[in-house]
Structure 1
Amino acid sequence: MDIKKFEDKILTDIETVILEIIRNNRKIPIQAKSRAGAEISNFLENEFIKIAKKNKAITDAVSSPSGATKNPWDAKFTYKLKDREEIIWLDFKAFKVSGEDSNPDIGTPNKFFDLVRLGGFYLTFVYVYYEEFESGIQFTSNKSDKYTKVYFLKDIHHSFRRNPKNQLQVNISENPEYRTRTEFLHLLVKKIIESHKRQIDISNRELLKLSKEEFLQDLLKQNGESESIIRKL
């Protein structure tokens, strides 16, 4: 089977489940506070497990253990098509629609590497959008009139970067771009190397500044003057 057709079928099946969840639960009693995104994600995990049972290709679906904030997936399942069984990891992201141009951390690349070593590849992001109402939040559409955006990490927009915290970042309004699995492996490693080089350059500049004698001497002089004033009190 053509790999892209296989991938498209997985994404379509996931999106179908998410849209059914939203249709059935347009409003939910979760307060739009700082942890609202995490609570919405937890809600989606549990609902996904229930609804996904209708799809024979989605099997062994489980949500992340309660309280496991560092778990590499929010939900996972095995996707079965003919003789192929594919591990799928889901990462739910709930965004307030007013912040659609933000650049949040979307996770460490290490969890993707872990998935590949397990024989998988499809770390999948599921975006949903919400706004506040008087007693909770309601799901709404984004600027493109979509209620959800589902894509594999491998198809992330090329503008993504790795930050010094080893977190990947991308503007949430950017759309995914199809690429092969091999192309993504090359791109991801390239991005990580570029990030480390930036960190090395920054560290080298800071080391150069700190190693200059006048830097320390200026601090010692300022401190000496301050201590002298205190002694005269």
Structure 2
Amino acid sequence: MNIIFDVDETLYDMVQPFERAFKELWQDKYDIDMYALYAASRVHSDKVFDQVMAGTMTVDGAGVYRMTHAMEDFGFAITEEEALEFQHAYRKHQQHLDISETMEKILDLLKNRNVSLAILTNGDTDHQMEKIRGMGLERWFSDDKIFVSDTVGYFKPDVRTFRAVEQALDLNRDETWYIGDSIENDVEGAGAAGWHMILLNRHHNDTSIIRHQPDYIVESEEELLEILKRIVGDL
């Protein structure tokens, strides 16, 4: 059995470094609900993701775009300097991420059951590897089983991204599971590729729009742990 994980919002909750940056810089400066601001920032981040992948916008440039527009949604006009300061604080905290105790239990369970583990994530290779190493994920994932779209040459939900991983690891689709948080990138991409799929829906996104139905939808790491215990129980 092969189980492949997304990174952001899957192996860790992305609100974690955002919250730390917000508390450091803006908590006493702006009267905004941090979680609502985070949600808005993700919407604007998605708008420029293709530009980052194409090399026409830097990661920091995307951060400035994301935060200036998210703040505008709440009626605050911030300078590029303020947005860049927030981006730098956000990236600083991304280098010191923690996976939860439950996620550690999940990865230990799979490793102890001799499940073949890998990572497939969208993003800039250096940036994603910085986070992966910061979380100590090499304890469960060897470098030859970490795939970042920037290096693969395609990005999810493009089926060619999944096919590249299949070829590199000589995977049998019937025995391959993908775990991710994004309906568009993960559920639709893995579904189109013919992989089994578990959606980790941390933030309770609308699942009525899904075209390729996942095998399971869970809303917490604890639920994910219980599902995986059942899936690998007969190994």
Q: TM-score, normalised by structure 1?
A: 0.29
State the structure with more CA Rg. 1
The answer to which structure, 1 or 2, has the higher relative contact order (CA under 8 A, 6+ apart) is 2
Q: TM-score, normalised by structure 2?
A: 0.28
Whose helix proportion is higher, 1 or 2?
A: 2
